[in-house]
Structure 1
Amino acid sequence: DKFGLYDPLVKARLLVHTDIGNEADDQQSVVRLLTYANEIDIEGLVTCTSMWQRNTLRRDLIEEIIEAYRGEPRNNLMKHTGDYYPTRDELFAILKDGSKEYGMEGVGLGKGTEGSEWTIKVIDKDDP
């Protein structure tokens, strides 16, 4: 761009927090995300609660999507784009659970989770 703010060769970084499982579109969004995984740098997939899904994390749904994506779907995406897509193991490495407590009940000293620690680690990384 003319202002030098956007470099098309540098992928945008993305960290997703999702209350997947509340509605079918949650799963569909993760599937769609994986079809664009060659264009963005997915740095985290973190399960979380929501107003409609309190005290429940559905990591299993993301795991099912990742398992379905590996192999033929991933290979076809790479064949048709010529780009790299993350592997199953790379995606599992960035899949983390947030708090099982809803809202402010899950916030405070001693309430950190692998998801909150991962979020801090990703945010603190230098941008390319």
Structure 2
Amino acid sequence: MRAGMYVEIDGATYRATGNELPFLVFAPAQEPRPDGFAAEPDGGWTRLVDKSEFQRAYVVRTTARWRDWTVRVNRVEDGIAHWRYYGDGLPADDSRVSRVGLFEWLGRTPVEELDDVVETVDEMAL
């Protein structure tokens, strides 16, 4: 499952963040350090990239069903989906779910707990 921004650099795909260039790009800690990436305190790898350093940038918008609710997945890291839900009725006794507004919830669950996943890819024009 994918969600969020991604860039492709020399045939490899990396998760990225940023509203403007340069983008901050992430590589998983369990992989060897890719060229040009620096170590992060959590054990992962990061790199700032400008437009000339990647071949493609895109955003994956993902929705899925968690139990009985349709959620928007913001990102996926190490098999954990970080998602948002707007509405009411989520189980407040689940420590992986927290209410952050009157009708806004954030959750973190293993991707295996999500069903009916729909990914939409939007190319970024840079």
Q: What is the TM-score with the length of structure 1 in the denominator?
A: 0.23
Report 1 or 2 for greater relative contact order, CA contacts < 8 Å, sequence distance ≥ 6.
1
Higher strand share: 2
Higher helix share: 1
